[in-house]
Amino acid sequence: MSEPVVERQRSAAALLGRLARARELGLVVALFLLFGVTAIVNPRFIGVQSFKDILLNTAIVGLLAVGQTLVVVTRNIDLSVGSVLGLSAFVTGLLFADHDVPIVVAFVVGTLIGAVCGVINGVLVAVCRIPALVVTLGTMYVFRGADYWLAEGRQVNAADMPSAFLKIGSGSVLGIPILPLIALVLLALAAWGMRNLRSGRELYAIGSNPDAARLAGIPVGRRLFVAFVLTGTLSGVAGVLWAARYGTVDATAATGFELNVVAAVVVGGVAIFGGSGTVVGAALGALLLSTIGSALVVLKVEALWERAIDGALLLLAITLDRVLALRAERALRASASRGATTLPANGAAAPPATGAAAVPADGATTTPPDGATTTPPDGATTTPPDGATTTPAARTAADARASEDAAADVAKGGTR
């Protein structure tokens, strides 16, 4: 009896996985189209120097997009990243201008500043239980204010910084610019962690359903705290890189940057309400947006259009996501109702529950934990499958939803 159920769930998981991959593939296709069209108008757009410039422009926003993804998949948001970057960048400049510190020290201090800002956000969100939107809106002002307060209208110029440091921002190793290389290494680390680490998977589970995640024994507060600290730290690193790239830093550096970052993340397929999306997608989103910026210059479209296009693209991306998700949901529901006619037990179990988790919630009651049938999900292993025998029905439903969410997450989560 469980055979068709398992198969159905496997195909559902595959469908969700396909959707997620489709997003990254779609971004790559969009990038190629963009390059192609632009190159037809101006062949110089495809060239080593042009690629280098685009990568350099992407590195910093890409780094922030990676950090932002960690927070957004947990159904939170960090609007303070631009201010953290600005603060870190200015302090880095200040250290060189006034204290002549070695480069390593500047890196460490800049990163630490980011981490401390992240800790402040993390404590307010995870311990004080204030919504992240409010917290980071507030700290966005506070960190920027601290930046101005430190700067007192000063500006640090490239002449004040050691040339070896500025090299990091513009130089290359073996023909590959250093800045994107750093960003790529950090991206790879984050991608690996989000995919393979138990805590990485738990971030997705939290975003899919915070209550279920808590019931499943995930230390939600601790995970959120760490996510915010990591995002802050990455913003700190990005600040140091910003100083290296632009040389001139004042207190206004990266003002309003957080919205570019959120746009990149959303275009990259990370659901704003958590639970799905990958750091690679977010980085691709950042790459696409900054490539559009470069292409506009080449196409001699006035740069004035860039913001409008960014906004339109973001709206297009989320609309497309929504349409695809609705279609997937309908397909799943159709297959679920087909299943219900042959297997009466399932139909009664539960209606398709939360967004991405349109996989029927019957997993925990009629089949072995569905996670086990696809891949071993961390969230699901902590969910006791015996919930059905010991707890009332409501609890069972929650457990079922948790394990099923976790299964969906392992399948790289679909669109919600």
What's the closest the beta carbon of residue 362 comes to another protein, in angstroms?
Answer: 22
Continuous segment of H or E residues that includes residue 218: none
What's the closest the beta carbon of residue 233 comes to another protein, in angstroms?
Answer: 21
Contacting range for another protein; rule: CB under 8 A; set: 106-114, 154-162, 317-325, 341-349:
317-325
Mark residues 106-135: x for contact with another protein by CB under 8 A, - for none: ------------------x---xxxx-xxx
Q: Residue 389 pairs with which residues in a beta bridge?
A: none
State which of residues 57, 68, 139, 209 lies at the interface with another protein (CB under 8 A).
139
Angle formed by the axes of helices 279-298 and 305-342, nearest 10°:
140
Contact call for residue 146 and another protein (CB under 8 A) = yes
d(CA 361, CA 328): 16
Contact call for residue 273 and another protein (CB under 8 A) = yes
Contact call for residue 140 and another protein (CB under 8 A) = yes
Contacting range for another protein; rule: CB under 8 A; set: 7-15, 46-54, 222-230, 259-267:
259-267
Contact call for residue 145 and another protein (CB under 8 A) = yes
State which of residues 17, 26, 138, 193 lies at the interface with another protein (CB under 8 A).
138
Contacting range for another protein; rule: CB under 8 A; set: 61-69, 255-263, 369-377, 397-405:
255-263
Contact call for residue 262 and another protein (CB under 8 A) = yes
Choice between 269 and 371, CB closer to another protein: 269
Choice between 186 and 317, CB closer to another protein: 317
Contacting range for another protein; rule: CB under 8 A; set: 136-144, 237-245, 339-347, 390-398:
136-144
Q: What does DSSP say about strands 249-250 and 172-173: parallel, antiparallel, or unpaired?
A: unpaired
User: Given CA atoms 21, 24, 25, 26 in this order, what sign does their dihedral have?
Assistant: positive
Continuous segment of H or E residues that includes residue 391: none
Site for another protein in 322-381 (CB under 8 A): 322, 326
d(CA 78, CA 90): 20
Question: Which pair of structure tokens corresponds to residue 3?
Answer: 């055979």
Residues in the interface with another protein (CB under 8 A) total: 46
d(CA 324, CA 356): 11
Torsion angle of C-alpha atoms 23, 329, 323, 61, degrees rounded to 10: -30
Contact call for residue 77 and another protein (CB under 8 A) = yes
d(CA 327, CA 334): 11
Continuous segment of H or E residues that includes residue 142: helix 132-151
CA distances from 243 to 106, 246, 249, 261 (A): 10, 6, 6, 18
CB 196 within 8 A of CB 409: no
Contact call for residue 246 and another protein (CB under 8 A) = no
Could you give the 3-state DSSP secondary structure of residue 307?
helix
Site for another protein in 296-315 (CB under 8 A): 302, 304-312, 314-315
Per CB under 8 A, residues contacting another protein are 77, 124, 128-131, 133-135, 137-142, 144-149, 251, 255-256, 259, 262-263, 266, 272-273, 302, 304-312, 314-315, 318-319, 322, 326
